[in-house]
């Protein structure tokens, strides 16, 4: 944990701890406002795209052998986030945090991370996923459209 910035660079109220899940639970409460309404209105829309900074499920976390530090998996997501995404059932969930690119379908949800990484990471290759010309061309890329459902794959 000493090598993971999320642990030592953040300060939480005394009753919250990052290692027991209480921080994740408290942050999840911020999503409670409006979530019931979003669930109720889900079917009114042709498509739903959701976002999170953190990794929404283990399947889209890099394997331990690729992680520096190897304990990174302890600091990338939460079961609360996974549950919210599974309940909402978006067409696409875009996430970040690990600096590893992913484009994967799990249980009918497309999980996408088109990571730019840090400038240093970009010098040795940056993202491990490409979407058309992204990330080589630094411009936005289309990840979902009701009129365009084909997906670029790496």
Confidence of residue 86 (pLDDT cuts 50, 70, 90): very high
Alpha helix locations (H) across the chain? 5-8, 22-32, 35-41, 79-88, 119-123
Q: How far apart are CA 95 and CA 92, in angstroms?
A: 10
* Average pLDDT of the chain to the nearest whole number: 78
- Using 50, 70 and 90 to split pLDDT, how confident is the model at 154? very low
Separation between Cα atoms, residue 146 and residue 132, nearest integer Å: 18
Digit-coded pLDDT (tens) for 74-84: 667 888 999 99
- The answer to whether 89 touches 56, Cβ cutoff 8 Å, is no
| Full-model pTM | 0.78
Across residues 82-101, what is the average pLDDT? 89
Show the CA angle centred on residue 65, arms to residues 73 and 115, nearest 5°.
60
DSSP state of 63: P
Is the distance from CB of 113 to CB of 62 less than 8 angstroms?
no
């Amino acid at each position: 944990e000493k090598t993971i910035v999320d642990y030592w660079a953040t300060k939480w109220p005394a009753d919250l701890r990052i290692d027991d899940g209480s921080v994740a639970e408290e942050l999840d409460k911020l999503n409670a406002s409006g979530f019931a309404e979003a669930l109720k209105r889900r079917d009114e829309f042709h498509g739903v795209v959701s976002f999170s900074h953190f990794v929404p499920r283990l399947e889209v976390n890099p394997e331990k052998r690729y992680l520096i530090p190897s304990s990174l998996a302890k600091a990338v997501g939460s079961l609360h986030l996974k549950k919210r995404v599974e309940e909402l059932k978006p067409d696409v969930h875009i996430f970040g945090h690990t600096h590893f690119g992913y484009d994967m379908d799990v249980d009918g949800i497309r999980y996408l991370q088109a990571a730019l990484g840090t400038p240093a990471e970009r010098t040795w290759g940056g993202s491990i996923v490409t979407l058309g010309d992204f990330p080589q061309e630094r411009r936005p890329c289309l990840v979902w459209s009701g009129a365009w459902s084909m997906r670029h794959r790496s």
